[in-house]
Amino acid sequence: MTPADRGPGTIQPGSDTQADLTDPVPVYPVMLSLAGRRAVVVGGGSVALRRTRALLEAGANVVVIAPSVVADLAELPVTVLRRRYRDGDLAAAWIAHAATNDPDVNALVAAEAERRRIWSVRADDATASAAWTPAVTRHGDVTVAVTANRDPVRSQRLRAAIALALAEARLPIRRSGRRRHGWRPAAALAAAGRQPRCSVAGTGSVALVGGGPGDPGLITVLGRRLLAEADVVVTDKLAPRSLLAELDPDVEVIDAGKEPHAHNLTQGQINELIVARALAGKRVVRLKGGDPFVFGRGGEEALACVQAGVPVEVVPGVTSAIAAPAYASIPVTHRGITQDFSVVSAHLDPSHPGATVNWAALAETSGTLVLMMAVAHLDTVAAELIKRGRSATTPVAVISDATLPAQQVLTSTLGQVAADSASAGVRPPAVVVIGEVVRLRELLVGAELEAAS
């Protein structure tokens, strides 16, 4: 325990009696393991609620003592004694929190804790407390507790700065041991009457991380943290590769390629690779563009891991199917225009025997169509939609290098878009948006320019 800095579950600045900040108090910092141990909270208000939640997160068995408690506190999995505190209530407790609005009651709680040699925290008077709660941030198995000589505002600011640095992987948090991963969607397996496959002893793990549409700032916080902890990174062409420069020098980076008509590794080889590295005890991140489960073949890789007994985790990513139109000022849905949108892989010519897209149904709908991997067959896809009933005057946008500095947006019509794209030299990666929502781009871009001026 360390001096009276506020963290999750504590009084906020202005709610506590402020402690004397003049001289540092010598303290002995320590982390307490409260899993399965009794913790007593005296008080039933918002302060007690925050303290109780923090104790529950630590796995404590919490007893709350108060004549009345707030509704949110009553719904927590704790024992509530609806009465006033009595001497002897701290028997068998490991830690006590005095969180009432009565200083005399809080003093009695602290005095009993002192007699019983139990750690106690007073919410109202840090100077009279035997223990204090720091400002805390957690990232995976990393817990950082910040103290600043009982100055809660300073502690919280430091905590926020450290939390941001951890989230952005600017601090070294790679583990030396193995990750304790599991296949996260275990509930889905249980619902199907199946149990998650046990992992092979001594294995590492695989994380299928969606890197987002291109801009490295659009990867999720969890994805960035896992990337910073990885031993091996298997990356695709469209993944945010600038993040690779931030990896430790000893991280093995494998380029799987996976761009149109130019694969460094086949999908089968990728599956074998990530499984083999995990079975060798490595923490593997499979870094993909967009979302792993949106035309990313992440399902195949997850199945390969499950079948090999390798713990696998799926980290969703921002898919370019929605992000690209958004960055081009095109909402895929808009009240009064369309209530639905469809995302289609158009990497095959509609006449190809292996093509399974129902172009007739898509042509009949008035909803927005978002085509992925459509540049190579844009002429035949447009012709197919027109033949099936979509108007040749339907607005179309082709967004290249979405979210990146090189982003370009070409607007046209369904009947003209193939010729216009060819004239403009449009190349993959590009996202094609078909529908009346494309008309909103002109209005939104105009409004943005007017606001900027």
Alpha helices, DSSP H, located in 36-191: 46-57, 71-74, 103-116, 152-167, 186-191
* 8 A C-beta contact, residue 358 and residue 388: no
Report the interhelical angle of 267-279 vs 298-308 (nearest 10°).
40
- Burial (CB count <10 Å: 0-12, 13-18, 19+), residue 308: buried
Residue with the two structure tokens 């450290």? 162
DSSP letter string, 187-211: HHHHHTT--PPPPPTT--EEEEEE-
Q: Interior CA angle at 354 toward 348 and 360, to 5°?
A: 70
Strands 205-210 and 79-81: unpaired
The one-letter amino acid at 196:
P
- How far does the chain reach from its first CA to its final CA, in angstroms? 54
Contacts of 239 (CB under 8 A, 6+ apart): 211, 287, 288, 289
Give catalytic residues, as residue numbers: 236, 258
